[in-house]
Amino acid sequence: MTMPDPINSEKSFQGLDLLFKKIEQEKIFDNNFRELSMGTSLDFQTALKNGATLVRLGRTIFEK
């Protein structure tokens, strides 16, 4: 799970996606990671574009 750099969220998300893929390819850990949690209500589209499988949408759901 990550919270991005507020100035350049795309770069933050791209970096985490690369790390996520490297961990999977090189079998760095025994368990199989399936979820990449990054992004919030403010930047979920960028997060999804960069590989997020889970996003936090609290503000979208609870703010009126």
| Structural domain span for residue 13 | 9-62
Residue 52 lies in a domain: yes
- Per-residue buried b or exposed e for 3-17, using 16+ beta carbons within 10 Å of the residue's own CB: ebeeeebeebbbebb
Instruction: With a cut of 80, say whether residue 34 has pLDDT above it.
Output: yes
pLDDT tier at 10, thresholds 50, 70, 90: very high
Residue 31 lies in a domain: yes
Residue 37 lies in a domain: yes
Residue 2 lies in a domain: no
- Per-residue buried b or exposed e for 23-52, using 16+ beta carbons within 10 Å of the residue's own CB: eeeeeeeeeeeeebebbbeebbebbeebeb
Give phi and psi for 63, each to the nearest 5: -85, 140
**Between 32 and 24, whose confidence is greater?**
24
> In total, how many domains does the chain have?
1
Residue 21 lies in a domain: yes
Please answer whether residues 46 and 9 qualify as being in contact, where contact means their C-beta atoms are separated by less than 8 angstroms. yes
Instruction: With a cut of 70, say whether residue 64 has pLDDT above it.
Output: no
